[in-house]
Amino acid sequence: MLELLAYLQDSELVARFQRLCGLIPVEAAHAGRGRTRTANGIPVLAHEGRWDRQDKNSNYTHKQNGHAVGGCSRPQQYEVRNWLLHLLFLFSSGLGHELFYITCLPCIHWNLDPFLCRRLVNMWTVVMYIGQVLKDVLKLPRPLSPPVIKLETRVDAEYGLPSTHAMAATAISFTVLLSAPSRIQFQFEVGLLIAVTLSSLVCLSRLYTGMHSALDVICGASISAILMFLTYPYWDTLDHFQLTSCISPIVALSLPLFLSYTYPELDHYSTTRGDTTTILGVGAGCSIGYWVNEKLGQTFEPQGVLPVPLPTLTANALALGAARFLVGVVALIGTRQVVKTLSLQVLYFWYRVPKHDDSARRRREIEVPYKFATYMTVGLVNSILVNRVFILLGLL
């Protein structure tokens, strides 16, 4: 069993997968920026990545965490020999980033059913919090580079197991699949195929980008599946409490804020605490927003006998959907920028921090409140205001 675990966490296994998919390391002596040639003479583009950096924020420089010390700072060169897979995996990996969460996920609320979005956000928040905490409690390293080619650098300081991309993809895909049959008429087998395909692509993309080992990905998907299995019988109960209880907004605000402030401390800075606070803030804002909508008697859910047919994809429906998407995204991104700027200015003034000191936002007393306030407001705007703006503009 230990041999199997060691094999699944081996960096060389990830490197072999990358080479199998056409992501090939190039020797620095022969690689240059621009065009180079493969062994069979086919010209491809060589790209510049990075070897493990001796950056103070990278967990690979922390021997006490059991990570290898990055001993090379020269650029890492690689060739892309299969552009179809390259673009597919980069796109799939992007499904686990903030840009996707703040743009595409709210479309379920705007264009399909707020009920499904509510279920999705609840499960996503729980799964992601547990995954982020496990990373910083277990402190298992990401794959080493070399031999692995790393296509992302932002999360270098984070630990590896479990893969929260795998957890989120599994939770999002199958929460929608399990919740949708009571709301929308569709062929379950088709939905299952889509859920399996999307979650698998995201999982494989974490190997391709060199950010996770096979063990990280398998554990991430498995933990998410276990959490869904354990919580599924209580989804309706939670939904009723969230919408009708007088203490629901108090719990929705106080519990995520408490979890954000008590997030495990590390001996070096990592993006996990900030990302976790972001997720908890969104969950809190959406939960309060759905409670407010229920009290106002306007939930924007489908009318008629459930499950309702899927909307017909006419040209008019697509145009309205695109318009709602653009208006909604502008509202959310604008809210994010305004509240982030204002909250940072207030906190910098309160703690007497120079405005040009960008590193100060890594301090817990600044990072937690500014991220929580920003993304809680985004959640509130998404759940309460955006659909009402659609009504004013004639888009609903």
Q: Which residues of the chain have pLDDT under 70?
A: 27-76, 156-157
- Which domain, by its residues, includes 218? 2-393
Q: pLDDT value at position 125? A: 94
- By CB neighbour count within 10 A (0-12 exposed, 13-18 middle, 19+ buried), where does 314 fall? exposed
Is 212 designated active site? Answer: yes
Count Cα atoms within 13 angstroms, Cβ side, for 205.
25
* CA–CA gap between residue 342 and residue 346 (Å, rounded): 6
Q: In degrees rounded to 5, what are phi and psi of residue 24?
A: -115, 130
Give the closest residue to 220 by CA, choosing from 263, 169, 292: 169
Catalytic residue among 86, 212, 268, 356: 212
Residues 151/17, Cβ–Cβ less than 8 Å: no
165, 240, 268, 356: which is the annotated catalytic residue? 165
Whole-number pLDDT of residue 27:
66
Report the pLDDT value the prediction gives residue 74, as an integer from 0 to 100. Answer: 52
Contact 161, 138 (CB under 8 A): yes
| Of 5, 263, 275, 271, the residue nearest 133 (C-alpha) | 263
Per DSSP, the residues of 26-84 read E-TTT--SEEEE-TTS-EEEEEEEE-----TT-GGG-GGGTPPPP---SEEEEEES-HH
What is the maximum alpha-carbon separation in the chain? 70
Q: What is the pTM of this model?
A: 0.85
Question: What is the rounded distance in angstroms from the CA atom of residue 115 to the CA atom of residue 108?
Answer: 9
Amino acid at 19: R
Count: domains in the chain = 1
